[in-house]
Amino acid sequence: MYNHLYVDLLKRILCNSVYEDDYATRSPSEEDLHECTRFIAELENEAPHVLSVYPYLTPEKLADILKNTKVSRQIHTYVGQKGLDNVEACVRTVLFDDIAGDFLDAGVLRGGIGILMRGILKAADDSTSRKIVMADSFDGLPPPSIDDSVFDREVWYRFINKTTRYNLKCSCDVGSVKSNFEKYDLMDDRVEFLKGWFNETMPTLRSRSFAIVRIDVDWYNSCRDVLDNVYDCLSDGGFVIIDDYKLQGCHAAIDAFRDERQINDPIEIADAEAGIVYWRKNYL
């Protein structure tokens, strides 16, 4: 018996839709505009070429782009309802079809997706030994590369350590993520934490088997670090979920990898606006 009500409520609490934390429709505050005006002024002074690439980048537009990263947001995942529904559908499918392997969440931030995965296993009364591997630096993002966009390199990363209003670093320490699992009574020996940069940690997973590989790592190199090391560990019938396909570097990394490996499994769209896509490996 699958507990739909538990999982539906879990998803709503993770993204705080229960308390209507709807930043999508909220206008930027005076403090937001002040911070973004400061960012624009620095760009005009130090990197005017950026504003020639993005002439529409006003303080209002920048505040709108950054709004979901505000430190004050009381949420455990930035993933919206469509993305959470997609994770649930993929987990339930691999359970129903008995696809072997653990679940990898690469790029966990506050741990919401891993919490959801563990909660679904609980709701499904899953008695296997599947692990949920929570992989992250737990110390923020590495620098973007030339394969990532001008915005990512010259705006996002430029201000990553120059603001306390926005979590541009995408950083959350491992202790806080474990604490978040505990809040839902879902921290147990089936949740595993893998701390470090992906170019160092992903090779340690090559002997593992995975049923789901979720990638929320933003940059080109980080996407390749995950796929190059772990894709061969993904069972046939398992899923790859990509959270950042709308970002230039992530999009290029996914397309290049699929081309190199001649992967023809169709890319499906989970949330077009958020850039969440997925495919199922070798499934006929």
- Asked if residue 190 and residue 64 are part of one domain, the reply reads no
Taking only the tens place, the pLDDT of each residue in 236-269 is 999 999 999 999 999 999 999 999 999 999 999 9
Residue-range definition of the domain harbouring residue 30: 22-72+146-163
- The three-state DSSP-derived secondary structure of 265-279 is CCCEEEECCCCEEEE
Domain count, the chain: 2
Threshold 0.85, pTM exceeds: yes
- Asked if residue 101 and residue 46 are part of one domain, the reply reads no
Q: Is residue 267 part of a domain?
A: yes
Q: Is residue 2 part of a domain?
A: no
Q: ∠ at Cα 75 (172, 227), nearest 5°? A: 55
* DSSP symbol at 63: H
Residue 186, number of CB atoms within 10 A of its CB: 21
Last residue of a domain, one of 104, 129, 163: 163
Outline where DSSP puts E strands in 137-260.
191-195, 210-215, 234-242
CA 232 and chain centroid, separation: 21
What CATH number is associated with residue 229? 3.40.50.150
- Asked if residue 252 and residue 190 are part of one domain, the reply reads yes
What phi and psi values does residue 23 have, to the nearest 5 degrees? Answer: -75, -15
- Asked if residue 130 and residue 227 are part of one domain, the reply reads yes
Q: Is residue 106 part of a domain?
A: yes
Taking only the tens place, the pLDDT of each residue in 207-223 is 999 999 999 999 999 99
- Asked if residue 213 and residue 177 are part of one domain, the reply reads yes
Question: Percentage helix, strand, coil, to 5, in the chain?
Answer: 45, 15, 40
- Asked if residue 27 and residue 122 are part of one domain, the reply reads no
C-alpha closest to that of 211 among 261, 280, 277, 258? 280
- Asked if residue 201 and residue 158 are part of one domain, the reply reads no
Q: Output 184 or 25, whichever has higher pLDDT.
A: 184
Q: Is residue 168 part of a domain?
A: no
